[in-house]
Amino acid sequence: MRIILSETLSYCFGVRKTLELTNKLLADRPDRTYCMLGEIVHNEHVVEALRASGLRVVRTLEDVPPGGVVILQSHGSSRKRYEELKARGLEFVDATCPMVRIIHDRIRAVEAQGRVPVVIGQAGHEEVRGIVGQVARALVVKSSDEVTPELFAGVGRAGVVAQSTFVEEEARRIVERIRALVPDVVFHDTICQPTKTRQREVETHTRTADVVIVIGSRHSANTRHLFNIARSINPRTHLIDRPESVEDLAIPREATVFVASGASTPMELIAEVVRRLESRPAPAGRRETAA
């Protein structure tokens, strides 16, 4: 078995920054009660490790105990959320990814210019809710099929941003469709560079691999996008969220296996998957890093 590792693995800059901040708070002030509102990042293993370190999970701000400090997730929050925190007098730490902050700035600028804000992304995703929550009103589309004359009726000027982990090629198809319906369109390409790099690596190496394994949470949008890109090229693509799942995969002994990961997948999880692959019966596995 030949194992090829994606050159871009594990945490992206934004996730790493969020986790470093959170772990430092937990270590430096063990006397404080820190609460995460929902999943601070989309990976069950990471969330459970933080809970074991003392971080409390709450569903609403009403669940924050007296004296508790709220850590806002890396996906970003709406303006209404900040207003509610202040109205309740709650102390909070903002762990929003810097790339998501840029999207917030862009969509507010779109609104200020008198354009109709349009968000390319998955409606209901935390990041998209936070982006939409920066303005009074926004249209949300996740595919070119959703860009209809009815949805854009009366829109003469539009400003478009994208969820930071959206699929690059699909975003461009959506923008082309919007341009066909709206006379004046400005597109701010806010898909972050690490996301584009991962997607391009997956697309390239999936074409030559016998089997593709994408490691990450099924709740993670960027992980699902990587899986869908690979699966559209190679049907022998698998999404796994725990190392033991690799034991159930039927992988030919002489196969070339390409391994990629989502942006919130811990390195130790990836390393354990690779270890299990390499420990399969002879011929022995050999590992390479994609160039």
Helix axes 13-28, 44-52, angle to 10 degrees: 10
Query: From the CA atom positions of the chain, what is the Rg in Å?
Result: 21
Listed residue (184, 192, 207) closest to 263, CA to CA: 192
Catalytic, 127? Answer yes
Q: Taking a C-beta distance cutoff of 8 angstroms, is the pair 190, 117 a contact?
A: no
Q: How many other β-carbons are positioned within 10 Å of the β-carbon of residue 206? A: 22
* Catalytic annotation, pick one of 127, 247, 278, 288: 127
How many residues are recorded in the chain?
Answer: 291
Is residue 284 classed exposed, middle or buried when 0-12, 13-18 and 19+ CB atoms within 10 A define those classes? exposed
**Identity (one letter) of the amino acid at 100?**
V
Active site residues: 127
